[in-house]
Amino acid sequence: MAKQGLPAEQFSGFLSEFCDKRVAIATHDRADVDGISAAFALSKLFPKSVICSNDELNEGARMLISRLEMDVKELEDLKMDDFSGLIVVDTSAYTLIPAAKGWKILCIIDHHRADGKDMKAGLEILDSSSPSSAEIVANLIEECGREKDISKDVAFALSVGIIADGARFKSARTNTFATLARMMEKAGAKYPELLTIAEPEPDTDAKIAMLKAMQRIEYVYTGGYMVATSEVGSNESDAASLIVEAADVAFVAKWKDKEKATRISARARGAVKIPLNEVMGKVAKEFGGAGGGHAKAAGASLPGVHTDEALKKCVEAFIIFTERESKN
């Protein structure tokens, strides 16, 4: 059963219990800057910890790991018996971190909505109103009185995580700006420097993938929204973000041959009233996958479903939601 009480009080107790234990700190597959920065900050509170992800990282995460010389292991390479358990950040779904199955989950810290959540931990700190997990972790450390553990490197990482996952502050709250200001001051970093990692310049392969996504676009007009779909071999989230600059909603699919699953990235413009996390949750449920995220940026992993069928189902689910909206 998850502990009850204020998050900072819960976390302080958890820290006292496990600070001297060997724990693994893992984020979701295809880790992004937010997940990596939050894991890095937490690792400074648990000296015997190991940061984990798989080797499929987005470009910003790779740059941050390189800059701060992080030692990141693959979770599936670790022996569970060597650890007291696992701290999971920036997800709460096994589909997004399948290597966590079988581990004792000690703590979950996540800012995504609960759609698709199938993990349980002794301590769960879930705040879907936070634009990033980095913001949650920064506040937890401060509120526990452990500001000394926020070094220049930790502050730099958390600053980048807050910027990267906030969709250029479209989902920011007052606390987001206040927290970012404190972290930037501690890091001694200027915004343009942070932005080079939070929003890295795409490499040639990424540019090609996004241009191919534009070539393959199909679209429908439904419920007052222009809904575009496409498929790519890589960089599906970047492609979705690019397409939604023109369309109201974008669903971009990528087939993952190793997992035999389709990964969907969904994005929406600010005026769209349909919550994409709920759309992705509905689609994932139909196919026995996992889906969720945020109202304007969400995703799903659909095992055994090919891209064309997955995209068709995304559009069908979105139409159902628009019809419900029109009746309200």
- Beta-sheet pairing, 225-232 with 218-222: antiparallel
C-alpha neighbours within 13 Å on the C-beta side of residue 328: 8
Amino acid identity of residue 99, one-letter, is A
Report the chain's C-alpha Rg in angstroms. Answer: 19
Tell me the whole-structure pTM to 2 decimals.
0.84
Q: What is the pLDDT of residues 294-307, one digit of tens each?
A: 889 899 989 999 99
Q: How far apart are CA 291 and CA 265, in angstroms?
A: 10
Q: How confident is the model at residue 3 (pLDDT cuts 50, 70, 90)?
A: low
- CA–CA distance from 197 to each of 66, 159, 193 (Å)? 11, 10, 8
pLDDT at 262 over 60: yes
Q: What is the pLDDT of residue 1?
A: 42
Sign of the torsion angle spanned by Cα atoms 306, 279, 300, 4: negative
Q: At the fourth CATH level, which superfamily is domain 7-198?
A: inorganic pyrophosphatase (n-terminal core) (3.90.1640.10)
Q: Both tokens of residue 75?
A: 């979770």
Of the CATH numbers 1.20.1050.10, 2.60.120.1440, 3.10.310.40, 2.60.40.1180, which one belongs to the domain with range 204-327? Answer: 3.10.310.40
Q: How many helices (H) and strands (E) does the chain have?
A: 11, 12
In the predicted model, what is the mean pLDDT of residues 155-180? 91
Could you tell me how far CA 33 lies from the centroid of its own chain? 9
Angle (nearest 5°) at CA 323 between 321 and 326: 110
In the predicted model, what is the mean pLDDT of residues 5-30? 91
Question: Any idea which residue has 């976390």 for tokens?
Answer: 11
Q: Secondary structure of 166-209 in the HEC alphabet?
A: CCCCCCCCHHHHHHHHHHHHHHCCCHHHHHHHHCCCCCHHHHHH
Question: Could you tell me which residue, 219 or 8, shows the higher pLDDT?
Answer: 219
Q: What is the domain partition of the chain in residue ranges?
A: 7-198, 204-327
- Beta-sheet pairing, 297-303 with 261-268: antiparallel
pLDDT at 55 over 50: yes
Q: What is the pLDDT of residues 273-286, one digit of tens each?
A: 999 999 999 999 99
Same fold? 7-198, 204-327: no
DSSP code at position 81: G
Q: What is the pLDDT of residues 219-239, one digit of tens each?
A: 999 999 999 999 999 889 889
- CA–CA distance from 90 to each of 51, 99, 146, 258, 266 (Å)? 13, 15, 21, 23, 17
Q: What is the dihedral of CA 134, 107, 120, 125, to 10 degrees?
A: -50
Q: How far apart are CA 287 and CA 164, in angstroms?
A: 30
Kind and range of the H or E element at 302? strand 297-303
Q: How far apart are CA 141 and CA 151, in angstroms?
A: 12
Q: What is the pLDDT of residue 112?
A: 87
Angle (nearest 5°) at CA 229 between 238 and 313: 120
CB distance 291 to 280 below 8 Å: yes
Q: What is the pLDDT of residue 54?
A: 83
pLDDT at 93 over 90: no
Q: How far apart are CA 316 and CA 137, in angstroms?
A: 37
- Beta-sheet pairing, 218-222 with 123-126: unpaired
Q: How far apart are CA 33 and CA 282, in angstroms?
A: 27
Q: Both tokens of residue 323?
A: 């019809």
